[in-house]
A and B are shown apart, each in its own frame.
Chain A
Amino acid sequence: MEPEVTEDVPLWGSRLRKVYGKGENRVPALRGVTVSFPRASFTAVMGPSGSGKSTLLRCLAGLERPTEGEVVLAGTTISVLGEPDITRLRRDRVGFVFQSYNLLPALTVRQNVELPMRLAGRRPLRADVELVLDQVGLADRATARPAQLSGGQQQRVAVARALVSEPSVLFADEPTGALDTNSSRDVMALLRDAADRHSRTVVMVTHDPVSAAWADRVVFLSDGEVHGELVAPSAAAVAEQMTTLGG
C-alpha cells in the first residue's frame, strides 16, 4: 500500500491516546497528546514517573501502536502501515537509544553497531562504522565485548548504533539515567551534534534538568497529557517547572 504522504514534518503525533490493560486493570498512559518536532531540533520530554514519557516515545518511534491518534514519521502516516512496513520504515529512518544500554553481549562493539544495517539487509561500510565509532570516541575499542566497557562507553556504543543508519529521527529514553556527570555530558554532546551538524530530529526523555538544558525545547508531560513547554531552557527553569508538576 502506498503510504499517505502528509506534509514535510519529520515527526508529528496527533491526539495520541494509549490505554494498557482491560477492565479493572485499565491504565490510560496517554490521554490525547499532540506534539510536533521540527527538523534538526533537539527536544527533551520531561515529567513525573509514570506520566507516559516512555509510552509517548515508543508510540512516536513506531515501536508500539497508539490506541487512538496518528503518528506521522518522516512524512508517512504509520497508523495505516502493516507491521513489516513499520519495521522497515523504522530501521531506515529511526534510531533508538535505551536507558539500559541493550547491547547484545554476544557481539563485539563493531558488530553491535553494524547490527541494524545487517538487519536491514545492507552491507555496512567499514568506513561508515569507523566514522561513527570515531564520533563517539570509541574507535580503538571496536573489537571489545560490551562486558569489557564502562556504562558510559556502552551508552556511547548504543548512540553509535542509533546513528549509523543515518536516521532522520533519533529517540533516546533516559540515555543518561545510569551515567555520571562526565559520561552524561559526552552523550549529550553527541545528541546535540546529531541535531546541529547532521540535521537530525532528536527526541529525548530525561529526569535530569542539566541534560534537558542541552535541548532546544522541553515538553512537559503529566498524567498522560502535555503540561506546557519551555523553549531554550536553562537547568534552573526546568527544575522549577518540574517542581510545579510534582515530579
Chain B
Amino acid sequence: MLRVALHTLWARRGLLVGSFVALCLGVALLASTGQLLSASTSGSGLGGIGRYDAAAVVVRADQEVPVQVGDRTVHPTAREERGVDPEVADRLRTTPGVTDVVADGSFALGLISEDDADTPFRDLVGAPWSNAPLTPFTVVEGEEPVAPAQAVVSRSLADADGITVGSTLRISAPTGRQDVEVVGVAEPPGGTGIPGEATVLLDDATAASLVPDGQLPVALGVFSEEDPARLAETIRQEFADEGLRVLHGPAKGGVAQDEIYQQGTQDITALLAMMAVIALFVSTFVVAGTFGFAVSQRTGELSLLRALGATARQLRVMLVGEALILGVLASAVGVFLGAAAAGQVAALLVDAGAAPPGFHAPTAPGPLALAFVLGLLVALAGVVGASRRGSGISPTEPPRLGQLDDSRMTRGRWITTGVCAALSALIASTMPTAAADGVVVFSFLLAVFLVLTLVSLAPLFVPALAAIVVTPFASLSRSSGFLASRNLRTGMRRTASTTAPVIVTVALAGTVFGATSITSATTARDSERNLAADVIVHSTTATGLPPEAAEVARAAPEVVGLASVTRTRGWVPTATYARATTIGGVDPTAVRHTYRLDVTEGDPATLDGESVVVSQPVLDDTGWEHGQVVPVHFGDGRVRELRIAAVLRNSVDLPEILVTPELVAQHSRDPMTAELYLTLDRTPADDDPLTELNDALAPVGAVATPGARWLWEREVDNAQESRVFAFVLIGMAVLYTSIAIANTLLMSAGGRIPELALLRDSGATRAQLVRMMSWEAVGVVLTGALLGVLAAAVSWTGVYLALARTVDAAHLAIPWGDLGVVAGACLLVALPASLLPVALLGRGRAGAGP
C-alpha cells in the first residue's frame, strides 16, 4: 500500500505541490520565528567591556519580589531595580580575602545641548569618580575630578560629542540641573569606553548630590586577590538567605551592550510570539484546506481503488501515509529555509529599528526541531478530515467529466461548526469583562473562531452567496457573467475552498487593524476630552525633567497653573495573580486644573502620604472598594498599605494608581518628572511656538508644546508604531494566505481545462473565457472579503464595547483603506491564478479530454 501511496504521490505531484508549498512555508515561518524568538530571549554574546570588569565578584539584590495573591505568594521580577543595603558592604569588607568593596553609585543623567544631534549611546550614565576602579577607568588626558563640579568623560563620549578638556557639561539629574567642568578624558583598558554607554565620572560630592538621598546602590563590586569562584562561594555561604545574588565571571553583568540589547529584544519578542501563533494557525488552516481540496480532486482515483478492493481503512492509511511523506519532506525543507531566512529577518528588524543593533539569529536546534515536529503535526491534522472524507468515497464508478462537484455538509463539518460557534460565543461573552489590554488578544481569538465557523459552514451558503455577489457583473457582460455565476454555484467545493483563505486574510487583517485603530482613536479622543492643560512640557534629554523645569515654568508670567506627573510601575494583587499596574505621583489639587477627572467616589483633593486614588479598572480586577486600606506593591518590591481616598472612572492618560510625588520618589530609581501640565492665562493656538516659555525652558533641557498639538503628535507616533506592528503581522499572514488562494486555484486548474475546451468548442471566444474566469475570481474574492469583514465586525464590536465600559468617547474607527488594500492584494493573486487554465488551454488544447 505504501508503494501505491508513493506512486500516486509522485503522479499527483501537481496537486500536492500546493500542500507542499503551504506546509513548507508554514514550517519555514515557524522555524524562523522560533529561531528569532530564541535569539531575542538570549544574550547578544557580543561581550565587550563591562562596568564591573575589574571586580572579582559582584553582589546584587535579588530581583524577584514577593506579592501575596489569595493564599499564595508569586514572585514577579522587580520593575524598579532593587539596591543593596550599605550594611552588606560593611560586612563584606571584613570577609576574609576581600581587599576592597566599591558601591556602584551610578545614575541616569541627561546632557542638555543646543543641537539635538543623534548620539550613538542608549544610556547616559553618571557615576562618582570612586567607581572608576570597577571597570577600571584611568585618566588618559587631563586630570582626575576631585574638586566640586568637575567631571571626566569616557573617550567614546568625548569623541562622539566633541567634548574636550575645559568644556562645560550641562547635566540634568533627578535632584536638579548642574554645570560641571570637564577636567579629563578616561578610558578602560582595551577600549575607548563601555560600548553603548556614555559615561560621565563626577567628583564624589557632586555625584552624591545628584541622586536622591537614601537611594541604594544597584551593585557592590568586591575586589580580591583570590579565585573569584571560590570567593563567590564564600560570600554566598556567609550571606545565605539574605536576598542577594553573588556573581562572578561573565554573569557579573554591567555590560551595557548586553543590557541594552536585551531591553531592545524584549520589545520584538511579543511581536515574534504573535507571529508564531498566526503562522501556526494560518498554516494549519491552509494545509488542511489544500489537503482536503487535493483529496476532492482525486475522487475518481480513490473510488477506483475502492472498486478494486481497497478498504476504507486502506485508503485512510494511504492518505495519511502520503501526508506523512509530504510532511517530512516539506518540514525538512521548511526548517532549512526558515533557518536561513531568520538571519535575513533579523537584519531587516535591525534596519527597521525594531531590534537593537547587533541582533542576529544563530541557528537554534531546539526551535528548529520544534518547527519540524509542528510541521508534521500540522500535516497530520490537515489530513485527518481529508482522509475521513476520502475513505468515505463510495466504490461506484468514478465521476466523469461534467459531473457536478458536490460538497455537502458532512457530520464532521457540523461538529466543527458547532464547536467553533460555541467557542466564539464563549469568547464574545467574556470580552466585556476582559482587562483592557487583553481586549486585542480576545478579539483576535474571537475572529479566529468566527472564521473557522464560517469556513466549516462554507459549503452551505458560500457558493450561492458568491453566485449572488457576481450577479451585478453578470449584467455587465451577458454570457460570461452568467457562466461565472453558474460555475461558482455548481463548483461548490472549489468555490468554498478558494473563498476560505480570503475570509481568513480579510478577517485577520480587519481584526488586527481594527483593534489597533479603534483603541488608538478612542485613546486620542478620550485624552482630548480629558486634558484641560493648555501646554505640555517634556524633556529634550534621554531622562525626565529636572526639578528646575517646574520652577522655570512656574516663574513664567503667562503660566497660571502647573501639575506634574512622575511615573513608576508596580503590582496590585487580584485573587489569582499579581496584576501589573502604573503608579503616578501627582499633586491632587494641581492635577484637577489640567485634567478633567471623572471622579465616581471620594475626593482626590484628600490624597496624602497615607492614601491613594485608584481608577475603576483596578477595582474591577482586585475587588477593592472606596475607603478600604489596600496593599499597593511598588516596582522595587516594597508594599504600602494605603487607603482609597477616591475612585476615578478611568485613568485617562494618567497612571492607574495615583499617590503623592514624594511616595513615588521613595520607590523609584529615576524619579524625574515625565511631563509638566501647564495652564496659561490664555489658550494658545495649535501652532503657537510659545517662544518666551521655550527660551526659558531650553537651559533646563525642556520644551513646551500646546496641548492639542502634543496629543496629535503623540497619536501620530502611536498610530505609526502600531500600524508598523500590524503590517508586519498581517503582511506575513497575507503573503501566506495568498499562496493558499493561488494554490487552490492552480490545483483546480487542471480539472478545468477540459471544461474550458468544451466551451471553446461550443463557440466561446478566448476573451469570453478570460472574462468568465475573471468574474469568478472577483466573485470569490468579494465573497471572502464580505465574510471576512463580517467576522472582523464582530470582533470590532467586542473591542468597542470593552472600551466603552471605561471611556465615554469610544470611537469605532474602521480601517476601510487598509482592508481595501488587503482585499486588493487577494484579487491580485486570484486573477492570474484563475486565468492560468485559459493560458494553458491556448497552448495544448488538443489534449482536452481527460
Tell me the A residues contacting B by CB distance below 8 Å.
Answer: 54, 58, 63-64, 83-84, 87-88, 90-91, 96, 98-100, 102, 104-107, 111, 115-116, 118-120, 161, 165, 173
Contacts and interface: CB of A to CB of B under 8 A. Distances in A.
Interface in B397-417: 397-398, 400
Given A54-B397, A119-B4, A120-B309, 10 more contacts: A58-B396, A64-B394, A84-B313, A87-B309, A98-B307, A102-B304, A104-B7, A104-B11, A107-B7, A118-B1
A104 B304 contact: yes
A115 B11 CA distance: 16
B309 A106 contact: no
9 contacts: A63-B394, A63-B395, A63-B397, A84-B311, A104-B8, A106-B11, A119-B1, A119-B314, A161-B308
A119 B314 CA distance: 8
A177 to B, nearest CB: 12
Contact of A104 (B1, B301, B306): B301
A139 B314 CA distance: 29
Q: What 8 pairs between A and B have smallest CB-CB spacing?
A: A91-B309, A106-B11, A119-B310, A106-B7, A119-B309, A87-B311, A116-B308, A63-B395
Nearest to B300: A102
B12 A100 contact: no
Contacts of A165: 309
B396 A63 contact: yes
A100 B301 CA distance: 13
Contacts of A54: 397
Contacts of B8: 104, 106
B11 A90 contact: no
A119 to B, nearest CB: 5
B10 A106 contact: yes
Nearest to A65: B394
B3 interface: yes
Contacts of B398: 102
A245 to B, nearest CB: 23
Contacts of B597: none
Contact of A83 (B11, B312, B397): B312
A96 B396 CA distance: 11
Nearest to B850: A100
Contacts of B310: 87, 119
B305 interface: yes
Nearest to B398: A102
A161 B304 CA distance: 12
B312 A84 contact: yes
A104 B301 CA distance: 7
A111 B11 CA distance: 14
Nearest to B394: A64
A100 B850 CA distance: 11
Contacts of A98: 307, 397
Nearest to A84: B311
A203 to B, nearest CB: 15
Contacts of B4: 107, 115, 118-119
Interface string B1-23: 10110011011100000000000
Contacts of B305: 104, 115, 119
A84 B313 CA distance: 9
Q: Looking at B304, B309, B394, which has the most chain A CB atoms within 10 Å of its CB? A: B309
Interface string B141-152: 000000000000
A64 B396 contact: yes
Nearest to A107: B7
A90 B309 contact: yes
Contacts of A102: 304, 307, 397-398
Contacts of B400: 100
B11 A105 contact: yes
A96 B307 contact: yes
Contacts of B394: 63-64
Nearest to A103: B304
Contacts of B306: 87
A36 to B, nearest CB: 23
A228 to B, nearest CB: 27
A191 to B, nearest CB: 18
B309 A58 contact: no
Contacts of A161: 308
A115 B308 contact: yes
Interface string B273-310: 00000000000000000000000000001001111111
A105 B304 CA distance: 12
A88 to B, nearest CB: 7
A95 B630 CA distance: 84
Nearest to B400: A100
A100 B849 CA distance: 12
Contacts of A115: 4, 305, 308
Given A104-B301, A105-B11, A106-B7, A88 B311 contact: yes
Interface in B303-339: 304-314
Contacts of A99: 397
Contacts of B396: 58, 63-64
A166 B322 CA distance: 30
A161 B308 CA distance: 9
Contacts of B395: 63, 87
Contacts of A107: 4, 7
Nearest to B306: A87
Contacts of B7: 104, 106-107, 111
B745 to A, nearest CB: 23
